[in-house]
Amino acid sequence: MEGSSLRPGQGAARAANGARRRPPAGRRAEVREANETAILAAAEAVFAEYGFHGATTAMIAERAGLPKANLHYYFGTKEALYKAVLENILALWLAPVRNFTDESDPAQALADYIALKIEYTRTRPQASRIFASELIAGAPQILDYLSHELRQVVEEKSRVVRRWIADGKIGPVEPVHLFVTIWAMTQTYADFAVQIAAIQGKEALDDGDFEAAKRFITAMVLKGIGVKGAG
Amino acid sequence: MEGSSLRPGQGAARAANGARRRPPAGRRAEVREANETAILAAAEAVFAEYGFHGATTAMIAERAGLPKANLHYYFGTKEALYKAVLENILALWLAPVRNFTDESDPAQALADYIALKIEYTRTRPQASRIFASELIAGAPQILDYLSHELRQVVEEKSRVVRRWIADGKIGPVEPVHLFVTIWAMTQTYADFAVQIAAIQGKEALDDGDFEAAKRFITAMVLKGIGVKGAG
DNA sequence: GCGAACCTTGACCAACTGGTCAAGTTTTGT
DNA sequence: ACAAAACTTGACCAGTTGGTCAAGGTTCGC
């Protein structure tokens, strides 16, 4: 019963990696990719707005412009679709930390990192919110990822920070808390944007808010952890 | 049809304010208070773990040790119960900002505020998560509160900060961003605790983590915004 | 050209959920 | 003591939702 020739299920898991531009691809593959992309985009929007439980596959399908049965053909279950969305988000989330290397200058590296994080927050607030909801719920889907891949990356980057400290380039701080608070400060402008807007009497944040946030956070962090030759 | 003598509905809205210890109170009132408290506590736990949509009134009732119908008798609808829980949380959330006055010394006031926020985060992580979820969802239930009560408080406290700046007690910073980032940094230790634990190879955060967080945040903020006579 | 694989979709369904209700029990005021 | 008000609760229900399915269309490999 499982060995049938049908091919539903995990389809778009592949769309998560960088394997874009395959060979010309027949019409079939083209349509498949277009549909998967449409569904993933719709799912991101709906999951961000209503949360996993609040979202319905009917909403997502409608937003993607496809029948609900079609969505289930591509992704199987709501949960599988949610996982596919999360995978894309995790890749996005982790990208900025890459240019955080031994050689880099603390002031520059931190400023760049904060700038990238704020940019992520500004351009992909929905992604940020889905990630946040997942964490608040206890990370049922990504706990494994957090305690392995992410943990490893953090440890690696922590070593960079400790080197900076040893070299007297910054004051003595616990690297993990530095990372955690940078994530928190930047992401708050996506996740809790309504609150920040509301207390300013605005309906939504604008580019100026993000620019000011970036400046404020950068200045406070650089000065706060004693980066030499900053602020 | 509405003028019946029954008395279901908004019951516990009152439990939110500080009107504890009423006169001896008959058995009736006693039971009512006990039940409302049990339901609110159960609701807080369940809403925090599953979110508004993921939570069911049956779960909450079971956790409270009461039949579901009884829960609906006291609070009417799931949404009304949720609002009651939120009201309690808002009061908790806002309390720490109170001792933020003109006369206070910046270093002391900020350190105290951060300490209280971290304490809230440590002792009431569920409350923090519910509040966070509500904001991520766009604050459908509390937008009004945010743009009036909270906004007013923030403006009032912003004046205090601007006074400090004018008096040369701290560097020039935008008060709103200062508050927002303090909220973000402290709350992240409740809302995203799984993540912080995971990257450290732990199952959960312990008191030491909160202590370290408090120290780190306090040090970075005080130094970062140039509080005279600090770090 | 043709059969097999793949895709599309309206109709359908079982499970769950918030909420109701009526019948009964307990407490309260007088 | 007794009636009115308040509380309790098992049974019930209508609406919603994730997911299935069968029948029909389209594309692909050869």
Digit-coded pLDDT (tens) for B12-37: 433 333 333 344 467 788 999 999 99
B-chain residue closest to A140, CA distance: B194
Rounded (10°) angle between helices A106-123 and A175-191: 30
Instruction: Please state the length of chain A.
Output: 231
Q: What amino acid occupies position B213?
A: A
Cβ-nearest to A196 among B180, B185, B221:
B180
Name the residue range of residue B197's domain.
Answer: 100-224
Rounded CA-CA distance A184/B196 in Å is 11
B113 shares its domain with B206? yes
B89 belongs to a structural domain: no
pLDDT tens digits in sequence order for chain B, 231 residues long: 333 455 655 444 333 333 333 444 677 889 999 999 999 999 999 999 999 999 999 999 999 999 999 999 999 999 999 999 999 999 999 999 887 888 789 999 999 999 999 999 999 999 999 999 999 999 999 999 999 999 999 999 999 999 999 999 999 999 999 999 999 999 999 999 999 999 999 999 999 999 999 999 999 999 999 998 765
Q: Find which of A136, A145, A153, A227 to mutate to test the B interface (most B CBs within 10 Å of its CB).
A: A136
| Number of compact structural domains in chain B | 2
| Contact between residue B193 and residue B49 where contact means Cβ atoms under 8 Å apart | no
A180 shares its domain with A106? yes
Rounded (10°) angle between helices B27-54 and A27-54: 170
A196 shares its domain with A112? yes
Q: Using a CB-CB distance cutoff of 8 angstroms, which residues of chain A are in contact with residue B225?
A: 220, 223-224
B72 shares its domain with B107? no
B215 shares its domain with B142? yes
Digit-coded pLDDT (tens) for A171-191: 999 999 999 999 999 999 999
A230 belongs to a structural domain: no
Which nucleotides of strand D lie within 7 A of protein CB? 4-11, 16-22, 27-29
B186 shares its domain with B118? yes
Digit-coded pLDDT (tens) for A215-227: 999 999 999 999 9
Q: Using a CB-CB distance cutoff of 8 angstroms, which residues of chain B are in contact with residue A49?
A: 137-138
B87 belongs to a structural domain: no
A111 shares its domain with A220? yes
Q: Find which of B199, B203, B205, B222 to mutate to test the A interface (most A CBs within 10 Å of its CB).
A: B199
A66 shares its domain with A175? no
A196 shares its domain with A164? yes
Look at residue A20 and tell me whether its pLDDT is greater than 90.
Answer: no
B1 belongs to a structural domain: no
CATH number of the domain to which B121 belongs: 1.10.357.10
B145 shares its domain with B206? yes
What ipTM describes this predicted complex? 0.91
Q: Which two tokens mark A225?
A: 């952890």
B59 shares its domain with B108? no
A54 shares its domain with A113? no
- Shortest CA gap B94–chain A (Å): 13
Residue A92: Cβ within 10 Å count: 15
CB contact under 8 A, B49 and A184: no
CATH number of the domain to which A46 belongs: 1.10.10.60
